[in-house]
Amino acid sequence: MESKLLKFSLVCMTGALVLTANPKTAYAYEEGVAGFTYDKISSNSENGSSSITTLASYDIPVPGFADIGIADVETNLLVRSGPGEDKKIVGKLPKNGGCDIIEEDNGNGWTKVSSGKVSGYVKTKYLITGTKASKLALKVGDYIATANSNGLRVRKEPSVNAEVIDQVARGEELIVLEGVVPNYDEEHKKWVKVSLDSDESEEGAVGYVAKEYVDLSYQLKKALSIEELNFGSEVSSVRIRLVSKAKEYLGGRYRWGQNVLGVAVDCSGFTQQIYKKFGYSIPRTSRSQGSSGTRISSSQLKPGDLVFYGNGDHINHVAIFIGNGKIIHASNRRDGIKISNLYYRQPVKFVRYINDR
């Protein structure tokens, strides 16, 4: 029997395998054009269901990297300005994060790499390289939909008439759950099924975005520069310490329903346990956390305050504001604990528990 499979054309781009397609006419429905095209392949199944061959099963080198390296650490691999532990830390490459190797180890135990906005040196012993890295990249990466316009509407169903459950800012990334919506007519095949950060299930909040308004790619996690982690303005000691403690867990594992720092947490488990370390007892779920504390406006935000996301009055995700227009949150299974822009999704509420005016 025949099954439809996504056909990929991979082009070079640091940190991402960009999926391109033959030119197609943009659809005038939602905000399109994605890089998936359709191809038919043969597949056999003993029980009548399809058995699809996926990209990860092919033994091929990884386009997108001239010489790929993958961080072989539990949390983050430190990137330094020079080859030595006395050199300044310029960034952090998370577990299974990808990088380009700029200079091979010359015998001193250090390799120069580039990832995201970061370029520097990492300890060679914590870097997977060569064929092993190329094969691993096909297992640890994810298909990502990147919004190519502001206010990308995420809908409950694959239809322009469906309820809008959130809006996403330009440049923000969503995990692709399915490259196309299966078992629908041609109209519905213009949509991509994605996951929004949420503490309501392991998969997150499921929604649909129009292909026309996202760029689809296969990506590994990238390094973050120290500049991206900095505070915006002067804040109290407790806020600085709380945010600094939260950043210690950057790259940590996300798992729905868990709240053990250093092991696995979901979004509200992360905020609850960080606050607990500083003597603050807050509820367990994001919805309960949003219903307690003191509601504030966006202009009153200080590092350490909580930011809530959801659909209207329905809250399903929480993050800690860290200043400079950034948040830190237990995001999803792909990224774990990460830093994002405050408006990567549309916030629905801001709450303060730290009363240090």
Q: How far is residue 253's CA from residue 250's CA, in Å, rounded to a whole number? A: 9
Contact 328, 320 (CB under 8 A): yes
Identify the CA nearest to 57 among candidates 34, 78, 33, 41: 41
Residue 160 is classified by DSSP as T
What is the rounded distance in angstroms from the CA atom of residue 268 to the CA atom of residue 198? 9
Tokens 């580039």 found at: 114
Tell me, yes or no, whether 42 and 73 share the same domain: no
The predicted structure's pLDDT at residue 249: 95
Q: For residues 255 and 342, state if they share a domain.
A: yes
- Residue 120 in any domain: the answer is yes
Cα–Cα dist 182/129, whole Å? 37
Tokens of 105: 């180890």
Distance, CA of 68 to CA of 228 (rounded, Å): 23
Q: Which amino acid is at 251?
A: G
Question: Which CATH number fits the domain that encloses residue 267?
Answer: 3.90.1720.10
Do 295 and 344 lie in a common domain? yes
> 255 CB contacts (<8 Å, ≥6 apart)?
202, 264, 265, 266, 333
Alpha-carbon dihedral 178, 254, 318, 212, rounded to 10 degrees: -20
Domain containing residue 52: CATH number: 2.30.30.40
Q: Among the three residues 191, 219, 247, which one is the final residue of a domain in this structure?
A: 219
What is the pLDDT, as a whole number, of residue 203? 72
Do 79 and 201 reside in the same domain of the chain?
Answer: no
Residue 123 pLDDT: 98
Burial profile 124-150: b = 16 or more Cβ within 10 angstroms, e = fewer? beebbbeeebbbbbbeebbbbbbbbbe
Asked if residue 135 belongs to a domain, the reply is: no
Token pair listed for 184: 């629908």
> Do 196 and 239 lie in a common domain?
no
Whether residues 46 and 145 share a domain: the answer is: yes
Tell me, yes or no, whether 253 lies in a domain: yes
Among residues 192, 219, 246, which one ends one of the domains?
219
What per-residue confidence (pLDDT) applies to 170?
92
pLDDT computed for residue 42 by the predictor: 25
Distance, CA of 130 to CA of 127 (rounded, Å): 10
Establish if 225 belongs to a structural domain. no
pLDDT at residue number 85: 96
Asked if residue 88 and residue 43 are part of one domain, the reply reads: no
Do 191 and 208 meet the contact criterion of CB atoms below 8 Å apart?
yes
- The pLDDT assigned to 282 comes to 98
Same domain, 188 and 295: no
Residue 224 lies in a domain: no
Q: In terms of domains, do 289 and 153 share one?
A: no
Inside any domain, residue 134? no
45 and 161: one domain?
Answer: yes
Look up residue 164 and give its amino acid: V
**Does one domain contain both 155 and 256?**
no
pLDDT of 13 reads 35
**Phi and psi for 238 in degrees, rounded to 5?**
-65, -35
**Domain range for residue 116?**
68-127
Give the whole-angstrom CA distance, residue 69 versus residue 62. 11
In a domain, 136, yes or no: no
Question: Do 184 and 241 fall into the same domain?
Answer: no
Q: How far apart are CA 43 and CA 58, in angstroms?
A: 15
The catalytic site residues sit at 267, 317, 329
| Final residue before a domain boundary, out of 162, 189, 219 | 219
* Sequence-distant (≥ 6) Cβ neighbours of residue 185 within 8 angstroms: none
User: Rounded to 5, what percent of the chain is helix, strand, coil?
Assistant: 15, 40, 45
Q: What is the pLDDT along the chain (357 residues), one digit of tens a residue?
A: 333 333 333 333 334 444 333 322 222 223 222 222 222 222 233 333 322 223 332 233 445 566 899 999 998 999 999 999 999 999 999 999 999 999 999 999 999 999 998 999 999 999 999 989 988 998 898 889 999 999 999 999 999 999 999 999 999 999 998 754 445 556 657 899 999 998 877 778 899 999 999 998 888 999 988 766 565 445 678 898 999 999 999 999 999 999 999 999 999 999 999 999 999 999 999 999 999 999 999 999 999 999 999 988 899 999 999 998 999 999 999 899 999 999 999 999 999 999 876
Residue 339, domain member (yes or no): yes
What is the reported pLDDT for 187?
62
Q: What's the predicted TM-score (pTM) here? A: 0.71
Domain tally for the chain?
3
